[in-house]
Structure 1
């Protein structure tokens, strides 16, 4: 038995890459020091895998910002607006990732979307009609050679040709079929060059193959890979899939001359069935994903051994590995020194998953694995429940009826009542919720958690920040204010800390995009609210102004999707537990006079099954009701907002409407407001706030740019239900750029409002 890893975390166990890249952005270090940090991390990652006896170690999976962007740059897919800046290679790369505003010009970043059904965000490649598709970068070759100098043979990895074309945005008249020959030549050139360098294998990541495929898609797959593989020379090619099964194209994959095929046996519900029905060629290697790459619980060896034994009945040459890249889990449990071992012994982060693979390899090679100590330890660990159930919480969920998921009166009647109650102007301006987490905020929070700052001093600091934030929002003229969320480290972690049933790591960081890292909570037991969470801060802010102040909450589906969920309860049960806890908070806010309450469901789309046939039964049948449960008990006068970001919503507008929120804000600006036309065409009924500028970029939009965006929205949606807001929360931005951008936004809204009234 051999073992393989698809990809490894990049950011560093102590987020070294994040801090180095951010220092580079601030001009505190140069490109040379940044590259040295990256090389040190790559070496550590390769050596960690080598130490665990991993037979197939990836290279090329490391990235300064995003692996899809890396593939685009490799093949010269750099839009002309970035070339025109005249920056060097690294600066151009970051301009594509973050936008650029400086002496060389002013350009927005590439669009950003969720990587399939994960919380990782990728940059959308743009393919212009004038694009000359060829090898233009050297990263994949350089990193392979770098590993060889360390004495480590790796398998270079990059996004496959089919997935690259499916994810790309074509900005001109050309489409995939028009550039297929150029793509084929470029990928063949990569194979030829790696073959000349002595590489034994290359990995093409093709997660798009687990989605719903049309006959045209399957034809494109074959038309790409038959010629690519016909010139592969000595290097073997692995087509690696993950996040699901390849039911639509399994036969075609088997017919193509790949040397290895990677299948997901964790999330791929039909992967084993496909193997049983159709078999597997003797001349190909099956790379079987049998250890979860996305959750953090210890693998149950008995189940995995049973699965692999069944796989071996149909495949002669089997390699085991994680179900997907380990990019989606933290580095190592060994850094969690504050959590009792009663918790941590149940966790497997990236390093622990390497050791699980090593143990599974030994067990699979053993004539009697159940007698091995590793097997016995695993059985003892997983025997019995981890925690006692909260019977009161479970009874409350069991007692829910249809009435608990229905808000009355219906939206049109509520809309008139809220308009009269709130008396907001046309095109009301607001923000999504958070304001910059400045160094002083982060420093005092860290000191408070360490016990170095008394609670009363910390509270005074937070309330002073809230007061200053409210004052400044009033000064620039925002219509609906927020308290700024200075007490919150993260929109999910903060609420989890205030609820029973969650466990928290100290260093369990996972990359979300670029230098943005999150620390997902772990859902350990049944969830309940034992005390108010946000009421004190919201009421304080509300008392400082005559303008409406939004209560700011995180929704139950996002809480679930951005945590590592327990595996002993169905997602529906967990979501309803969280929903009831957040519902209690909603009703508390309302009782204290908060008339606008935003319940963010930023991750609603995230865990939507990749196959449409599974949407309702596996997800929407409980995800939409979970959100409705949160707000169904409020008065007609209370306006419920929600927010969604960095996903595609065009194909689920009706489901979003079914959430029955009064106002829904969306990420939109980074994708050139494409969503606005969808809202128009669908007759979207709730109030809508498509983001007018991109908060993931440091650039400051000017008034004319914002007015153009607002006018486009008005033409498509009309002014009656249109809200003006940024794309997302402002926590990650600097203060100067934040207030300048918001000032421009308020001015632009006022000028368009005057145009409409005139």
Structure 2
């Protein structure tokens, strides 16, 4: 990862229409059996091609082989009953029917390792893989066994660490943990959230990232954002803790959000994955808009630590719009890269 301002996406890309219904989050698979297995691999290769052609430097799988960023991982664990469902409040914002933890949670076999190997074989570029974070996993279940969010989080942290170590062995360069819950449960973040996340990353040599956002542009999230006022300062709670943590990269949402840019100062010294593409609006950013977001960020983060990215996943968009947004991200990063090179030349 020697490119200055290496671009990447946070997670998902739209799935092809032959694999799942377009523009629908978490839509069911359109294929089954061997055809589904093959279809997922084809979609993964297409996702790599889309990113490569549009200048994305750190490539991911676009979450083509999973239906949901949390539950697809949980489906592969024992101790969770998907038939036994309860309604719980997710992220303190909306009610959802979720599976129940009925016994000790265990990872019987690798979950994403084969897919990560396929990704590694599809590109020479650095690759990134996203896993759900322990707190966000806890927040997506009904726990009838441990009866303690913290205890369950520590169990998940151990399981995630097993998976992460195998992903690293498969050639993954960056392992990202998705923790949108960190913008909601501030006391838990302080008490055990960051510590559980560090347990999930224990012993890894790959770069580790934590992604904390304000969610996709679904109604429950946009309604919540409308209550947050003219400045979104939730990161003020987690950033000082993460600055002192062993995590390498901190991801945050910037484009069209009300996050004050100066909050990046709170993670000074860490790498910053900066959301410069909005995922809740179909309007495609111009390269100049992306460049402007990156320039403003450079007051608070050194250029060698800045990773231009999307705010969150691009799954809800039509594919053509997602592709154009990727191009805008690359083009905007290229503008700022050129400016930095020019300044360095003048200085020398």
The aligned counterpart of 1:556 is 134
| Aligned residue among 612, 626, 632 for 2:196 | 626
SS of aligned partner of 1:624: helix
User: Does structure 1 retain, via aligned residues, the 8 Å contact 2:85–2:100?
Assistant: no
Three-state SS of the structure 1 residue aligned to 2:154 is helix
| Structure 1 residue 442: Cα displacement | 2.1
Q: Where does residue 143 of structure 2 map in the other structure?
A: 565
Deviation at 1:712, TM superposition (A): 0.7
- Kept in 2, the 8 Å contact 1:561–1:607? The answer is no
Aligned to 2:175: 597
2:70–2:132 Cα contact (<8 Å) kept: yes
Q: What is the alpha-carbon distance in structure 1 between the residues aligned to residue 87 and residue 125 of structure 2?
A: 38
- In the superposition, relative to structure 1, how do residues 486 and 654 fare at CA in structure 2: closer, same or farther (>3 Å)? same
Q: Distance in 1 between matches of 2:61 and 2:67?
A: 14
- Distance in 1 (alpha carbons) for counterparts of 2:86 and 2:333: 41
Segments of structure 1 that go 5 or more residues without pairing to the other structure are: 1-421, 609-614
Contact 2:85–2:98 (Cα < 8 Å) also in 1: no
1:688 is matched with which residue: 243, 251, 272?
A: 272
Are the aligned partners of 1:445 and 1:458 in contact in 2 as well (CA < 8 Å)? no
**Aligned residue in 1 for 2:227:** none
CA, structure 1 residues 757+521, in 2 after alignment: closer, same or farther (shift >3 Å)? farther
1:487 aligned to which of 65, 68, 71? 65
Counterpart for residue 210 of structure 2: 642
Deviation at 1:440, TM superposition (A): 2.8
Q: Distance in 1 between matches of 2:175 and 2:189?
A: 25
Query: What is the aligned partner in structure 2 of residue 664 from structure 1?
Result: 250
Name 2:221's counterpart in structure 1. none
Instruction: Judge conservation of contact 2:19–2:30 (CA < 8 Å) in 1.
Output: no
In 2, the alpha carbon distance for the partners of 1:568 and 1:592 equals 32
Q: 1:430 to 1:506 in 2, by over 3 A?
A: farther
Partner of 2:228: none
Q: CA contact under 8 A between 1:553 and 1:599: conserved in structure 2?
A: yes
Q: Are the aligned partners of 2:277 and 2:310 in contact in 1 as well (CA < 8 Å)? A: yes
Cα offset, 1:714, TM superposition: 1.4
Aligned: 1:532 with 2:145: no
> How far off its partner does 1:705 sit?
1.3
Following superposition, the deviation at residue 588 of structure 1 comes to 0.6
Among 279, 288, 294, the residue aligned to 1:710:
294
Q: Which residue of 2 aligns with 1:58?
A: none
Contact 1:503–1:522 (CA under 8 A) maintained in structure 2: yes
- Aligned residue runs from structure 1 range 576-615, under 5 A: 576-608=154-186, 615=187
After TM superposition, list the pairs within 5 Å mapping 1:31-42 onto structure 2. Answer: none
- Answer yes or no: is 1:425 the counterpart of 2:10: no
Question: Which string of whole-angstrom CA distances, capped at 9 and with x for unpartnered residues, describes residues 711-737 of structure 1?
Answer: 111123231211100100112222111
Q: Shift in Å at residue 665 of structure 1?
A: 0.8
Contact 2:161 2:199 in 1 (8 A): yes
**In structure 2, what is the equivalent of residue 216 of structure 1?**
none
Deviations 1:76-134 (A, max 9, x none): xxxxxxxxxxxxxxxxxxxxxxxxxxxxxxxxxxxxxxxxxxxxxxxxxxxxxxxxxxx
Q: Work out whether 1:458 is the aligned partner of 2:36.
A: yes
Q: CA deviation at 1:510?
A: 7.9
Residue 474 in structure 1 maps to residue 60 in structure 2? no
Distance in 2, matches of 1:463 and 1:503, equals 28
Unaligned 5+ segments in structure 2 are 22-26, 215-231, 343-348
Is the alpha carbon distance of 1:518 and 1:470 closer, same or farther for their aligned partners in structure 2, counting shifts above 3 Å? farther
TM-score, structure 2 as length reference: 0.84
Q: Which has the larger radius of gyration?
A: 1
Deviation at 1:447, TM superposition (A): 4.8
SS at match of 1:426: coil
* 1:502/1:523 contact within 8 Å kept: yes
Compared CA separation, residues 623 and 683, structure 1 to 2 (3 A): closer
CA deviations on 1:647-691 (whole Å, 9 max, x unpaired) are 7112332112244211111122232441x20122x3522101221
Equivalent residue, structure 1, for 2:334: 750
| Structural mapping, 1:374-389, within 5 Å | none
Normalised TM-score (structure 1):
0.40
How many residues are aligned here? Answer: 317
